[in-house]
């Protein structure tokens, strides 16, 4: 499993005459580490059903919880948490830390914080502190990331590279530019941690989000190591936000060499060209994608209802309730336009009519998932949606209005962070 030889591991496991908790756990953790979350959960269930002699230990629980986080399977995670308490493993520090990470990645920051609070202060190790700092950062709670970091320093725990990745990321998502720069420039002197590529990427992102693109570019040029895709990617995303086409082209040129198979970089630059009506350049980038045999990564979102995950692709019509979903979405724009929604069609690549652009926007995967959630849950239930890409500007705006007119809390986890929508507002404060 550690070498990615999944089929060999499966064959060996099948041929075992007797299986103990170590062999079961090896399969669960192996699937989790190889990104096969559903298989990890299936093996855990199979172990519980078929092997009454085997009793899960803390390593087993620790191994299966990240699978819940990866699949955004909050209800499954809660059941495993309850089970861990029942068998006396709920107070194990490693299990508690894994629970913090699981709840945070499933969108429930409140439960993550509750689990962290239950870890006795004297038993909170660096991993536990880092997990909580990263949890706050991913939800855009930069000040809480900072205060948690300061609490950690106060009790004498020495930070490491992961600590500063979380801390700087939290500052970036919350616009805490001066605070983030302060921590970055005193990493080595005050905390004896040498900045690595990921820290530079965080600071480029920090400066870029704030519109300080020249400073971000200068920082890249002064790096003591070669700037990797994460650094140039942060600059490209910032250029997209602040519409700096010249720097965007320079960053994209670097990325086309560093990660030639990443279609996302081509799409992002293509979006920028489309926004200013440079359709010839859009066509040139499409031709490059085609020549390299690449396809745009399809937008995909999923939502968990009653313990079952439902997945939607952009423009998907395969779901059993597709007719109802599209009927709902057809009527939605007029409802939310009445409270101030204006469709953002600037990123629809096709040089087509305004009506067609608005229609294309309505079929984005996160809108399909949210519509399905509204149709299949009772009023007041929190909707939790996970997306494989960054949520687009129009979906972000539309979701704010949806949360207001339907009186729902909607939590969207995209590739970068969490967005908590409630009463017409988002936790990111439109800074993302």
Which of 8-17, 186-195, 349-358 comes out lowest in average pLDDT?
349-358
Higher-pLDDT residue of 355 and 395 is 395
pLDDT of residue 6: 97
For residue 337, what are the CA distances in angstroms to 74, 344, 352, 401, 403? 33, 12, 22, 9, 13
Exposure b/e, 345-377, CB count within 10 A at least 16 = b? bebbbeeeeeeebebbbbbbbbbbbbbbbbebe
pLDDT of residue 202: 97
Mean pLDDT, range 198-205, rounded to an integer: 97
Of 236, 158, 222, 168, nearest to 198 (Cα)?
A: 168
Distance of CA 82 to the CA centre of its chain: 25
The beta strands (E) that lie in 339-417 are given as: 383-387, 410-413
Indicate whether 349 pLDDT > 70: no
Higher-pLDDT residue of 155 and 338 is 155
What is the rounded average pLDDT for all residues in the chain?
Answer: 92
Does residue 151 sit within a domain? Answer: no
Higher-pLDDT residue of 383 and 299 is 383
Mean pLDDT, range 131-146, rounded to an integer: 96
Dist. CA 270–CA 260, nearest whole Å: 15
List % helix, strand, coil for the chain (3-state, nearest 5): 60, 5, 30
Q: Which helix (H) or strand (E) holds 300?
A: strand 300-305
The position carrying tokens 């859009």 is 282
Name the domain boundary from 119, 137, 152: 119
Indicate whether 215 pLDDT > 90: yes
Does residue 50 sit within a domain? Answer: yes
% of the chain residues with pLDDT over 90? 78
pLDDT of residue 14: 96
% of the chain residues with pLDDT over 70? 96
87 C-beta neighbours (distance < 10 Å), count: 12
Name the domain boundary from 92, 119, 146: 119
Does residue 259 sit within a domain? Answer: no
Q: What is the pLDDT of residues 62-113, one digit of tens each?
A: 999 999 988 888 999 999 999 999 999 999 999 999 999 999 999 999 999 9
Indicate whether 13 pLDDT > 60: yes
Does residue 237 sit within a domain? Answer: no
The CATH number for 102's domain is 1.25.40.10
Dist. CA 102–CA 96, nearest whole Å: 10
pLDDT of residue 353: 44
Q: How far apart are the first and last CA of the chain?
A: 37
pTM: 0.88
293 C-beta neighbours (distance < 10 Å), count: 7
Mean pLDDT, range 262-276, rounded to an integer: 90
Say if strands 383-387 and 410-413 run parallel, antiparallel, or are unpaired: parallel
Indicate whether 9 pLDDT > 90: yes
Token pair for residue 371? 């519509």
Does residue 308 sit within a domain? Answer: yes
Range of the domain at 23: 1-119
Q: What is the pLDDT of residues 220-231, one digit of tens each?
A: 999 999 999 999
Name the domain boundary from 65, 100, 119: 119
Indicate whether 55 pLDDT > 80: yes
Does residue 87 sit within a domain? Answer: yes
Residue 253: phi and psi, rounded to 5, are -60, -40
Does residue 431 sit within a domain? Answer: no
Dist. CA 415–CA 216, nearest whole Å: 22
SS3 call for 304 = strand
Q: What is the pLDDT of residues 284-325, one digit of tens each?
A: 998 988 888 888 788 899 998 988 889 999 888 999 999 999
pLDDT of residue 150: 98
pLDDT of residue 359: 54
Dist. CA 40–CA 70, nearest whole Å: 11
Q: Which helix (H) or strand (E) holds 301?
A: strand 300-305
pLDDT of residue 345: 63
Does residue 89 sit within a domain? Answer: yes
| Domain count along the chain | 2
pLDDT of residue 53: 83
Higher-pLDDT residue of 348 and 187 is 187
Q: Helices 126-138 and 109-118: crossing angle, nearest 10°? A: 160
pLDDT of residue 246: 95
CB 63 within 8 A of CB 79: no
CB 206 within 8 A of CB 198: no
pLDDT of residue 352: 45
Indicate whether 347 pLDDT > 70: no
């Amino acid at each position: 499993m550690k070498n990615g030889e999944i089929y060999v591991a499966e064959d060996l496991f099948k041929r075992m005459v007797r299986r103990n908790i170590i062999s079961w756990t090896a399969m669960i953790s192996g699937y989790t580490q190889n990104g096969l979350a559903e298989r990890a959960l299936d093996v855990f269930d199979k172990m519980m059903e078929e092997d009454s002699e085997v009793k899960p230990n803390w390593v087993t629980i620790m191994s299966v919880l990240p699978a819940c986080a990866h699949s955004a399977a909050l209800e499954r995670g809660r059941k495993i948490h309850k089970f861990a308490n029942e068998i006396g493993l709920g107070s194990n520090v490693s299990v508690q830390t894994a629970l913090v990470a699981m709840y945070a990645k499933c969108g429930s920051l409140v439960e993550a914080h509750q689990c962290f609070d239950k870890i006795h202060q004297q038993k909170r190790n660096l991993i536990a502190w880092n997990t909580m700092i990263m949890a706050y950062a991913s939800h855009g709670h930069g000040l809480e990331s900072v205060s948690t970091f300061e609490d950690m320093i106060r009790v004498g725990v020495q930070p490491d590279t992961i600590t500063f990745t979380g801390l700087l990321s939290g500052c970036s998502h919350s616009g805490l530019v001066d605070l983030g720069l302060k921590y970055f420039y005193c990493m080595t002197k005050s905390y004896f941690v040498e900045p690595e590529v990921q820290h530079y990427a965080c600071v480029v992102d920090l400066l870029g989000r704030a519109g300080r693109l020249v400073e971000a570019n200068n920082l890249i040029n002064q790096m003591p190591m070669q700037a990797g895709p994460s650094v140039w990617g942060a600059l490209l995303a910032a250029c997209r936000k602040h519409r700096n086409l010249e720097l965007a082209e320079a960053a994209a040129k670097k990325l086309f060499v560093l990660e030639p198979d990443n279609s996302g970089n081509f799409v992002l630059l293509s979006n920028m060209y489309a926004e200013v009506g440079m359709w010839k350049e859009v066509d040139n980038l499409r031709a490059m994608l085609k020549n390299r045999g690449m396809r745009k990564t399809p937008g995909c979102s999923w939502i968990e209802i009653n313990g079952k995950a439902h997945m939607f692709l952009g423009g998907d019509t395969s779901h059993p309730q597709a007719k109802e979903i599209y009927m709902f979405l057809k009527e939605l724009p007029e409802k939310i336009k009445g409270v101030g929604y204006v469709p953002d069609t600037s990123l629809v690549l096709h040089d087509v009519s305004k009506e067609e652009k608005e229609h294309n926007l309505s079929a984005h995967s996160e809108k399909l998932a949210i519509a399905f959630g509204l149709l299949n849950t009772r009023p007041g239930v929190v909707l939790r949606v996970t997306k494989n890409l960054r949520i687009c500007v129009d979906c972000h705006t539309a979701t704010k209005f949806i949360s207001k007119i339907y009186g729902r809390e909607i939590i969207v986890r995209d590739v970068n962070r969490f967005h908590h929508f409630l009463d017409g507002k988002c936790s990111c404060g439109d800074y993302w």
